[in-house]
Amino acid sequence: MLRAGGYMGKRKRMPAIAPGRAVFTPSIASEILNLHPRTLMIYESENLIKPQRTATNRRRYSEDDIRRVRVIQFLTRQKGVNLAGVKYVLHLLQSLGNQGLDLNQVRELDTLQEVSGNGLTA
């Protein structure tokens, strides 16, 4: 296959971006997340996320940050939790994770609660 510049050869595989490496600008991150860039700044001011900073003090978001914002979006949009509640839930999840709880068990519990209606079983 002929490529630009007339070179024929194997395509080089681009290395995957490490999840913790901050590479996304606020505008790109907001486009990925389908939200306004100001919302990211609000989440930062509420200490829900902490983007890394460049040498010139510009924000950069990692895939881990993107994943965390998706959790925030899920809690606020689908579960109706306000930002104070989100902060509390994220703190609890972090504490449980630090104590060695598998967070997949938490997801299974959430699924069981949705199936049973109110989460209370007799």
- Structural domain contains residue 11: no
The domain in which residue 50 lies consists of 26-113
CA–CA dist 62, 54 (Å, integer) = 13
- Structural domain contains residue 107: yes
pTM of the model: 0.69
53-77 residues labelled b (16+ CB within 10 A) or e (exposed)? eeeeeebbbbbebbebbeebbebee
- Structural domain contains residue 19: no
The tally of domains found in the chain comes to 1
The CATH number given to whatever domain includes residue 74 is 1.10.1660.10
User: For 43-90, what is each residue's pLDDT tens digit?
Assistant: 999 999 999 999 999 999 999 999 999 999 999 999 999 999 999 999
- Structural domain contains residue 1: no
- Structural domain contains residue 17: no
- Structural domain contains residue 14: no
User: For 38-56, what is each residue's pLDDT tens digit?
Assistant: 999 999 999 999 999 999 9
User: Mean pLDDT, to the nearest integer, of 93-97?
Assistant: 85
- Structural domain contains residue 33: yes
Q: Where are the beta strands (DSSP E) in 6-117?
A: 52-53, 59-60
